[in-house]
Amino acid sequence: MRILGISAHYHDSAAALVDGGVPVCAVQEERLSRRKNDAAFPLLAIEWCLERAGLEPEQLDAVVFYEKPMLKFERILTMALRGFPRTWRSFPRAMKNSLGEKLWVKGIIASHLGVPGRKILFTEHHQAHAAAAFLTAPTRAAAILTADGVGEWATLTLGRGGVRADGGTEIAALREIRFPHSLGMLYSTFTAWLGFPVNEGEYKVMGLAAYGRPSMAAEVRKVLLRTPDGGIALDLSYFDYHLSARSSYSTKLLEAFGAARDPWDPIDLSTDRGRHYADVAASVQRVLEDTLVDLTSALRAETRLPDLCLGGGVALNGCANARILRESGFERVFVPPAPGDAGCALGAALYADRVHFANPWREVPDHPFWGPEAQPAELVRLATEDGLPCERHPEPELLARVANELCAGRIVGWVDGECELGPRALGHRSILAAPHSSEVRDRLNRDIKFREEFRPFAPVTTVEAAGRYFDLPPGGLRLARFMSGVFPVRPEWRSALAAVTHVDGSARLQALEREMAPRLYALLEAYGRRTGIPVLLNTSFNIAGEPIVNRALEGYSTFRRCGIDLLVAGPFVMTRRASARPAPLEEEIACSQSAAASGAV
């Protein structure tokens, strides 16, 4: 059975194709349109999925949209009526959005794809999140928590998934929290207050939190209330998002936390104001974590299941995920590579396959590489046209050369195979660098990523070596598979891993299994042989404000526009003229000696 899943019209549109119960491919629209977080109907992504699978639209058995537009419309209408007359300004805009593309999704799908209306299905938004989390995880029974800003009505669901003896799949929500009460909206509101873009800047809040103290947590707890049944409710007098499209917070929130930051003002942590922003970020982060730990602990007690699947944008919060693993009682916590709305395209298609059509449970390959494959030969053509050096190496020499260059402090663009689904580079579209010096980190921030200094870079290492450098609880390796948890760097390694250790001594680690990305794994081994430390700095291959590169062409364009020293795609290595020579021997020796001196052998 061939099922196309679609998510669109909010942020991060995507398409995914499932055939015979197993994903064939999936890609975010932004990777193809080159517009970051592209929310448009994902025509390019759909076209690519069909082409990749060799299908015509009429060969599809179903097309599944990731939410129910009528339910969403009902929510907007109901909230507008409840808030009248305060909502009269925002209502026309909300209506326009709903009555535009959002509500008439069926017609849009039918007209673009030429599929009959009877083949077009809808899942609820949080069903798609739950399916994306549970049906891609290597487990046959798990508790499920999904949390985001809002879907139709639900903002957080607690449930369970299981495979019956007859091979059928069940996904059931036990209870839900409804709009306007929302953990995601709480976090997004403070993201906006801190002057960061909502739906993109939430990472920045988490990064900034490490610089602060949760001294305002009691104030945040007045905003996020606990209900007698163990749920949550927001004190709505602090918010405006349910009443206005212009602002998410009210004057009461400004009275409690002070004036919002102007996005153009830099955050200077040496000033009282800068430290206050960091303290508020730390306080919101603390309250979010405490709440999720409470909710998941109760879910563990209720379901008595050892496995937990997390979905929704809130599951991108690696600090919260690590605390859930440590404190909730669950033995394993699974977070898919794309827990946000992009992953809902895959979730919706899998949900339709397993639940709507009741097809038997199938194991889903446990990797994030569902996108377009890089075409390294493109690089050769571009390099030749531009007169840049581009060399082809057999694999062992290529890995030795790249390891030497990394050892010498060079920054490497790494393009390999199929693009990742989700916001994280997990081995196929990465910028790699030595993890040892904070100078490399600062150079990356300044010359390549053009981003704030307080944002940390992540390390990647092998699953075998991870425990040596990072303090992982039981189950930590699983959470680190897709870089979904933040864990302490062992104190004795913090100076040797300065470029990937955050100010609080933590790191958002990826622990790589050889089978998932064999070339990066081999590079880690080669680097480890030279330095004694098989750890690299791994950040997504993009410049701030741009989507992660997809084709070799975009890798090349990014390479030309920023300070990356070396671009590797397949067997090809391209260098800037200035750094075209091999790494100097003295630097290699110095690098090995310093590693040996630190006891890393």
Q: Which residues bind Fe ion (CB under 5 A)?
A: 148, 341
CB of 126 to Fe ion, least distance (A): 7
529 three-class SS = helix
Name which of 202 and 341 has its Cβ closer to Fe ion: 341
Name which of 41 and 179 has its Cβ closer to Fe ion: 179
CB of 70 to Fe ion, least distance (A): 17
CB of 211 to Fe ion, least distance (A): 28
Report d(CA 478, CA 474) in Å as an integer: 9
Q: For 350, phi and psi rounded to 5 degrees? A: -70, -35
Name which of 351 and 493 has its Cβ closer to Fe ion: 351
Spell out the residues 6+ positions from residue 180 whose beta carbon is closer than 8 angstroms to its own: 79, 150, 234, 236, 239, 241, 242
Residue at shortest CB range from Fe ion: 148
230, 298 contact by CB (below 8 A): yes
Name which of 148 and 202 has its Cβ closer to Fe ion: 148
Name which of 70 and 553 has its Cβ closer to Fe ion: 70
CB of 572 to Fe ion, least distance (A): 39
CB of 195 to Fe ion, least distance (A): 23
Report d(CA 42, CA 15) in Å as an integer: 7
Name which of 7 and 550 has its Cβ closer to Fe ion: 7
Spell out the residues 6+ positions from residue 385 whose beta carbon is closer than 8 angstroms to its own: none
Secondary structure (H, E, C), 279-320: HHHHHHHHHHHHHHHHHHHHHHHHHCCCEEEEECHHHHCHHH
CB of 149 to Fe ion, least distance (A): 7
Residue type, 324: I
Q: How many CB atoms lie within 10 A of CB 151?
A: 30
CB of 527 to Fe ion, least distance (A): 37
Distance of CA 581 to the CA centre of its chain: 36
DSSP summary character for residue 42: -
Residue type, 252: K
Tokens of 415: 């393009």
DSSP summary character for residue 156: E
Name which of 23 and 184 has its Cβ closer to Fe ion: 184
- Buried-state track 565-597, b at ≥16 Cβ within 10 A, e below 16: bbbbbbebbbbbeeeeeebeeeebeebbeebee
CB of 260 to Fe ion, least distance (A): 25
Opening angle at CA 428, ends 425 and 432, nearest 5: 70
CB of 344 to Fe ion, least distance (A): 6
Name which of 90 and 146 has its Cβ closer to Fe ion: 146
Name which of 137 and 477 has its Cβ closer to Fe ion: 137
